Amino acid sequence: MSTVLPAPRATAPAGAAGDGSGVQPRGQWWTSPRFKTILLYVVSIAVGFGLSAVLVAVTHGSPSKVFTAMFDGSVRSWGSLGYTLDNMAPLLIVAAGTIVTVRAGFFNIGQEGQLTIGAMCAAFVALKVHPSGPLVLILALLAGTAGGAIWAGIVALLKFWRGVDVVISSLLLIFVAGQLLSYALSSPTFLQEHGSGGATLTESDQLSSKVQLPHIGQYPNFNFGTGLIIAVAVAVLLGTIATRTTWGYRLKVLGFNPVVARRIGVSAVLFGGAAIVISGACAGLAGSIMLTGQAYRITPTFSNNFGWNGLLVALVSRNRPAVAVPVAFLFGALQAGGGFLETTGVPTDLVNIVEALLVLAAVFPPALMALRRYRLKRSEQAVAAAEAS
């Protein structure tokens, strides 16, 4: 009696989809999402540099001199590296506060004004409280932090009392902050410079050396201000609170679904208002550090886009505290290197355009990825709706 054996079935390779193991096949490294993200950043920044070079060449400038000046002014020497780190500090603090607010589901874009108000408060304490010394320096930093918090508190008050959108109120308050700074710098009672012979400028007096943040190291050797230490400490503290504590978890729930947050007892007024105030406090502290660690006097253009760029650091890092550190360094290098472009003979307006192009190049990848996620979500919802019907 003969036995008929069943024909052997074709088996898929180990790890293939459909083999019952649930393990998906491992693709090539160049198809991984991480590599695509890195490639997107590289291409975007390369395009930014290319457009900047074309723009400089069209205006009869030298692209090689421009990029060499940016490299020299940001990372080429120990002294320039220290300058980059000093620029990184306020950007990192602003970004850390922004991440807390976004985590709660709110989008504060008024850091430029909150930074200005914080610097004003710090300057007033540093210049008016005597005798100068380390205690006055600490009071100036605290005053700047409180000033930024109060200015952001107005945003929170308008949101939860009158229902004014956070984006609108925080943006409009930037212009109010600029007007207050102009008034303070033109009033002898507040911050107007006490010039000799009646000649005064639209700026404050220079801070005493006793109320300036100390530097570690000395130029041209490696050096950086202690504001960087404060910035890293603030970023680590807020990052830990936002990701490792119950309070941070409640913020996350509030940001994802306010209805669910309300049902489990998370108050939008309490937690959302606190997040907005923390963001403003960080911006105010950043302005205080800029004043006491770099500028030493306040002028009408004191903020110098540090508030806006700190917001961009948070966006580019996709609101991840650990990623915000290298991103803040990148933006600090752009800020430091941009100051050296004028030495190449490039017009001031063109310097700002080149900086803006490079910033846009850094912001473009996360914006594109967010757009792709949005389109994918919409397509999935459309498919689900079609299947349901």
In a domain, residue 311? The reply is yes
**Dist. CA 84–CA 89, nearest whole Å:** 9
Share of the chain above pLDDT 70, in %: 89
**Dist. CA 314–CA 34, nearest whole Å:** 19
In a domain, residue 146? The reply is yes
What residue type is 216 in one-letter code?
I
**Dist. CA 319–CA 13, nearest whole Å:** 40
**What pLDDT is attached to residue 69?**
81
What ranges in the chain are assigned the alpha helix state H? 33-58, 63-71, 78-103, 111-128, 134-162, 166-185, 227-244, 246-256, 258-263, 273-290, 306-316, 321-338, 348-388
Q: How far is CA 2 from CA 5, 7, 25, 227, in A?
A: 10, 15, 41, 88
Does the pLDDT at position 50 exceed 90? Answer: no
**Dist. CA 52–CA 46, nearest whole Å:** 10
In a domain, residue 95? The reply is yes
In a domain, residue 275? The reply is yes
**What pLDDT is attached to residue 94?**
96
In a domain, residue 65? The reply is no
In a domain, residue 141? The reply is yes
Q: What is the pLDDT of residues 316-348, one digit of tens each?
A: 887 888 889 998 998 898 888 877 777 777 776
In a domain, residue 129? The reply is yes
pTM confidence score: 0.83
Domain count, the chain: 1
Q: Could you list the residue range(s) of the whole structural domain that residue 325 is in?
A: 79-193+222-336
In a domain, residue 51? The reply is no
**Dist. CA 335–CA 291, nearest whole Å:** 16
**What pLDDT is attached to residue 348?**
63
User: Taking a C-beta distance cutoff of 8 angstroms, is the pair 275, 100 a contact?
Assistant: yes
**Dist. CA 282–CA 227, nearest whole Å:** 13
Least-confidence region, from 80-89, 250-259, 345-354: 345-354
For 216, phi then psi, to 5°, come to -100, 120
Average pLDDT, the chain: 85
Short-list 172, 116, 121, CA closest to 304: 116
Q: What is the pLDDT of residues 116-166, one digit of tens each?
A: 999 999 999 999 998 889 999 999 999 999 999 999 999 999 999 999 999
Least-confidence region, from 87-91, 96-100, 217-221: 217-221
Q: What is the pLDDT of residues 201-224, one digit of tens each?
A: 788 889 999 999 999 988 878 889
Burial category of 246 from C-beta neighbours within 10 Å (exposed 0-12, middle 13-18, buried 19 and up): exposed
Mean pLDDT of 82-99: 94
Three-point CA angle 88, 35, 25, nearest 5°: 145
